[in-house]
Amino acid sequence: MTTPTLQNYHGSLKQALGDDFLRQTLDNFAVQYRANRQLIFADVNEKGLIAEIAESKEASLDHLEELYAQFREQAAKKGITVHRAATAKEAQELVCQLAKDYDCKKIIKSKSMTAEEIHLNHALIEAGLEVTETDLGEWIIQLRHEGPSHMVMPAIHLSRYQVADVFTEATKTNQDSDISLLVKVARQELRAKFVEADMGISGANFAIAETGTFAICTNEGNGRLTTTLPRVHVAICGIDKLVPTLHDALRVIKVLPRNATAQAITTYVSWITGALECQRTGTGQEKKLHIIFLDNGRSDLIKDTKCRQALRCVRCGACANLCPVFRLVGGHRMGYVYIGAIGLILTYFFHGHERAKVLAQNCIGCETCKDICAAGIDLPTVIQEIRARLNEEYGSTMDSALLGKVLQNRKLFHTLLKFGKWAQLPVKKGRYIRHLPDIFAPYQGFRALPAIADKAFRDLWPSIKPPEAPGALKIGVFAGCAQDFIYPRHLKAAVDILARLKVNLEFPETQSCCGLPVQMMGQRQAAIATAKGNIEAFQPFAPDYIVTLCASCASHIKSHYADLLAKENLGEQVKAFTDKIIDFSSLLTDVLKVKPETFVNNQERVGYHYPCHLIRGLGVVEAPKTLLGMSGQYLPSQEEDSCCGFGGTYSMKFPEISGVILENKLKRFEEAGVTCLVTDCPGCFMQLDGGAQRKGGKLKVEHMSEFLARHLAK
């Protein structure tokens, strides 16, 4: 398979976006899954269990060699032969050799992502063996000669009509597209394969060191038939699947099916302890059982402190289920073998940096995957780390390198923004830029672009700074570049409200961009320089809080500054700065304790878009709803917490995806009957307001500060 370039990747994304069935199926599944998942987790402590899994998986990774030795010893006592393969090729060769040693010609397989990882089928077929996948979805994609588009539901991208065509071709008989009839066809065709098979190949969800047991979780009976009927069984398992005890495995089982498909338990959980206990085949031959532990880069990844958390993955596939990108383009465009957020990461580590170069760009950074991960992996941060490494390894693209250079130099950055104010005059129309030729902003027609403001907030500040309020809280204002230069009116509205609430405000002029755009682009040095500059800017003011109206700035500062500045010898300064950062809504509700009488409530029908970095990045849920309930008639909307498709530079890089996400988002607010849509982030504002403008401007979009200032009691 060739490595995609950005250009042919765009072509492939557009093709997927044109597949209405794919989009509708993934979207329906996501909506249903989300509701079912909530119900199925209602009786367990979801976050507590996930934290326990993360902790126990980390401990296992620390002792993997001991666990392997223990498993090997215990398994050997029970007649299992244990192998270790350093590479995918070694694992392929081992399986082929076992087939030769035991004179196996026909092989059946139950679903295994590890077997997919090493492209086992290709190797077996090349060795002249007959291989049949027996999981329904896997069999379908095998017949289509393609890889899985989801780790748990490999054929989710196909309609029943497409499956009927595949089965018609495979059986040389016309097949009906009725699903129950299609399942019957599969059952009939596969039964014969089970009976004839010499070797069964499975994966393993866990390998338990204390007993030498391994386990497989499946929803179809094929796993049991594969592991019991043939006279030889070979299991392939990543070394990261080793756990110390049955208890550790059972803990994962409490979360894995709930997270994967919103089931309390999979239909089958098969525990295999020893060849001698396996069912005899009726041929008079003793069952042979082998397990191959695959390394394929895992030992190196364990030593990689920034990324090793990826090895906690239990392969539930949930990081794809709600991912806004996956929901639109499916797994074949969002990963190589492994798909979804973890797919972007594992492609880099298991299938080559070159192959990950383009794929790793296709993440909005919305944190939905992090929020849902069964193993508590901070997937977006690991993806960002990979982007930074790819930039270092292959060099940055011109635009990202340029942005990195400019943002490192605050004065140059601000001068360029001020110059932009004059340069935009020929195309400026009110607050927006008239449609730009594609050469300047390719494919950005899905939203109106904002103009740079006539006067930046930093230039307004001296004339709007409220009088001192002796003894009151001292609050620093972190403007962020979008609101400083494009939307100073958001900040001006916040100043009006805060002045009414009698606090002392400070605006340190040497502050600059928070650094998130360059962090997202993998420009590590620029991200460090901007972080350092901002801490120094606020140092002399010693504020009690530092408020920002940008959820993305707040989340980036709180989540990444400590790590970015770890080697900068700034001592306690970093923590002192990041601890003080607070979003605007939380400042009003939690610190300043605003009351309903602060506002005039004329029951304006208002909806709220949760910025990803507010709800998932900062964990703020109630504050915006409380404020909107005090100042208007808050109308909840479906998926109000899902991403708007902005993602900073993402929307410029992948406008085809960003535009569709935006369109869906606005539709949901319209359906809820809101007349004003409020949000707490200038990036989301730019996306939503630009989209609403393109649609004729009927839906008013405001930042929370503007909405509240408009309803401030006299």
**111 near ligand SF4, rule: CB under 6 A:** no
Radius of gyration of the chain (CA): 28
Residue type, 533: G
Nearer to ligand SF4, 238 or 508 (CB): 238
166 touches ligand SF4 (CB under 6 A): no
Provide the token pair at 220: 């179809």
How many other C-beta atoms are found inside a 10 Å radius of the C-beta of residue 608? Answer: 26
How would you list the strands of the sheet with 700-703, edge to edge? 633-634, 605-609, 676-679, 700-703
The number of residues that bind ligand SF4 (CB under 6 A) is 27
Longest dimension (CA), the chain: 94
| Residue 380 binds ligand SF4, judged by CB under 6 A | yes
Please classify residue 551 by burial: count the beta carbons closer than 10 Å to its beta carbon, then call 0-12 exposed, 13-18 middle and 19+ buried. Answer: buried
Q: Least distance in Å: CB of 369 to ligand SF4?
A: 3
| 46 interacts with ligand SF4 by CB under 6 A | no
Backbone angles phi, psi at 253, to 5 degrees: -65, -25
Indicate which single residue of 373, 497, 565, 620 sits in contact with ligand SF4 (rule: CB under 6 A). Answer: 373
Judge residue 400's burial from the number of C-beta atoms within 10 Å of its C-beta, 0-12 exposed, 13-18 middle, 19 or more buried: buried
Nearer to ligand SF4, 298 or 410 (CB): 298
Q: Looking at beta carbons only, is 95 or 302 nearer to ligand SF4?
A: 302
Per DSSP, 3 falls in state: P
Q: Does 203 bind ligand SF4 (CB under 6 A)?
A: no
- Residue 179 is encoded by which pair of tokens? 């699903």
State both tokens at 502: 């009698």
Query: Which CB sits closer to ligand SF4, 318 or 688?
Result: 318
- Minimum CB separation of residue 18 from ligand SF4 in Å reads 21
Q: Is 325 near ligand SF4 (CB under 6 A)?
A: yes
Q: How far apart are CA 193 and CA 156, in angstroms?
A: 24
| Residue 324 in the binding site for ligand SF4 (CB under 6 A) | yes
* Residue 103 zone, left/alpha/beta (φ > 0; ψ -120 to 50; rest): left
- Does 243 bind ligand SF4 (CB under 6 A)? Our answer is no
317 counts as binding ligand SF4 under rule CB under 6 A? yes
Query: What is the length of the chain?
Result: 714
Candidate ranges 79-87, 361-369, 407-415, 478-486; the one touching ligand SF4 (CB under 6 A): 361-369
Rounded Cα–Cα distance for residues 555 and 468 (Å): 29
Based on the shown chain and the rule CB under 6 A, indicate whether residue 377 belongs to the binding site for ligand SF4.
yes
Stretch that binds ligand SF4, among 35-43, 154-162, 310-318, 562-570 (CB under 6 A): 310-318
Structure token pair of residue 289: 């059982």
Give the C-alpha separation, 410 to 534, whole Å.
10
- Cβ closest to ligand SF4, residue 275 vs residue 379: 379
Tell me the HSE value of 458 on the side-chain side, using a 13 A CA sphere. Answer: 19
Cα torsion 15, 21, 24, 26 to 10°: value is: -80
Can residue 335 be called a binding residue for ligand SF4 (CB under 6 A)?
Answer: no
Token pair 């569709």 is at which residue?
A: 660
698 CB neighbour count, 10 Å cutoff: 9
Q: Binder to ligand SF4 among 118, 153, 242, 363 (CB under 6 A)?
A: 363
588 near ligand SF4 (CB under 6 A)? no
The residue from 104, 374, 486, 709 that contacts ligand SF4 (CB under 6 A) is 374
Among 148, 203, 244, 365, binds ligand SF4 (CB under 6 A): 365
Q: How far apart are CA 526 and CA 407, in angstroms?
A: 6
CB closer to ligand SF4, 653 vs 711: 653
Residue 45 structure tokens:
């402590």
Residue environment code for 4-17, b if the CB has 16+ CB neighbours within 10 A, otherwise e? beeeebbeebeebb
The residues pairing with 243 across neighbouring beta strands, listed in sequence order, are: 208
311 binds ligand SF4 (CB under 6 A): no
What is the C-alpha separation between 515 and 217, in angstroms, rounded? 43
Q: Which of 163, 278, 341, 527 is close enough to bind ligand SF4 by CB under 6 A?
A: 341
Single out the residue of 315, 490, 665, 703 in contact with ligand SF4 (rule: CB under 6 A): 315
Q: Which of 80, 239, 319, 513 binds ligand SF4 (CB under 6 A)?
A: 319
Q: Which of 318, 479, 498, 614 forms a contact with ligand SF4 (CB under 6 A)?
A: 318
What is the smallest separation between the CB atom of 650 and ligand SF4, expressed in angstroms?
8
Q: Is 13 in the site for ligand SF4 (CB under 6 A)?
A: no
Quick one: which segment of 67-75, 228-236, 335-343, 524-532 binds ligand SF4 (CB under 6 A)?
335-343
**Is residue 553 involved in binding ligand SF4 (CB under 6 A)?**
no
Using CB under 6 A as the binding rule, whether residue 366 contacts ligand SF4 is answered as: yes
Closest to ligand SF4 by CB, 250 vs 591, is: 250
By CB under 6 A, residue 657 contacts ligand SF4: no
Q: Work out the burial of residue 656: count CB atoms within 10 Å of its CB; fewer than 13 is exposed, 13-18 middle, 19 or more buried.
A: middle
Q: Which stretch binds ligand SF4 (CB under 6 A): 27-35, 70-78, 367-375, 596-604?
A: 367-375
| Among the residue ranges 214-222, 321-329, 525-533, 690-698, the one whose residues contact ligand SF4 (CB under 6 A) | 321-329
Query: Is 359 an interacting residue with respect to ligand SF4 (CB under 6 A)?
Result: no
Helices 160-171 and 136-143: crossing angle, nearest 10°? 70
- Scanning 127-135, 272-280, 334-342, 495-503 for contacts with ligand SF4 by CB under 6 A, the matching segment is 334-342
At which residue do the structure tokens 């098969």 appear?
270
Count of CA atoms in the C-beta half-sphere (13 A) of 382: 26
Q: Closer CB to ligand SF4, residue 339 or residue 678?
A: 339
Q: Which of 300, 352, 374 is nearest to 64 (CA)?
A: 300
Choose the binding region for ligand SF4 from 78-86, 108-116, 323-331, 630-638 (rule: CB under 6 A). 323-331
Verify binding: residue 313, ligand SF4, rule CB under 6 A.
Answer: yes
Phi, psi of 396, deg, nearest 5 = -85, 160
Binding footprint of ligand SF4 on the chain (CB under 6 A): 313-319, 323-325, 340-342, 363-369, 372-375, 377, 379-380
